[in-house]
Amino acid sequence: NEPDIWGGTHMDVHPVASGYDELANDFEHEAGLVKTWDPAAVRFGPVSCCWWFYWNVGPTGDDKASHAGVDFLPWWLNQVYWMDQIHGSRTLDVFDVHAYADANTSGLTQPQLQAQAVSVYRDYWDPTYVSTSTSINQPYATKMEPNWTIPFRIPRLKAMVNAIYPGTPLSFTEWSAAFAGESDF
């Protein structure tokens, strides 16, 4: 789960940030083993934590330089696809990421926070929704992606999957906009 941030969440066993190669190689190895243990298992990957890490991973926070400047998710998906082609079997059953839509909530009242929490999900599907998120509105977060301030997550990621590894379903297994308060959700 969220191996892209293990260097911060599991420092006791993984003291440095995970890199592109490690994440692809570990997935390919473990996903192959899973089917030997349970032939009916459904394998999800890469189970990336959030927007920034869709595009950037690595020991220095940015492993792109040693991977032709390619954003992480398209690189990872392509790498897994090609490894599956080489080995002659599919390891990726569902392309999965976590999607924590967020927004600039500074100085908002509770009703404004609630309204923001409802509208922020437009970042999943609306091609006109310009995110106020500080994690999305960083020009260095995803320089290669067009309209980087407009997440358009579902269509953007579906297009990526269909272009790189056709026939792979897309999933969002964790999500929340509970910045208005957990009791509202």
pLDDT in tens, 17-34: 889 999 999 999 999 999
Could you tell me the pTM of the whole model?
0.89
Residue 6 scores a pLDDT above 70: yes
- The answer to whether 7 touches 14, Cβ cutoff 8 Å, is yes
Q: What is the mean pLDDT of the chain?
A: 87
Do you find a cis peptide bond into 111, omega within 30 degrees of 0? no
Q: How far apart are CA 115 and CA 101, in angstroms?
A: 14
User: What type of residue is 68?
Assistant: A
pLDDT tens-digit map of 85-144? 999 999 999 999 998 877 778 898 888 888 888 888 888 999 999 887 766 666 556 656
- The answer to whether 58 touches 133, Cβ cutoff 8 Å, is no
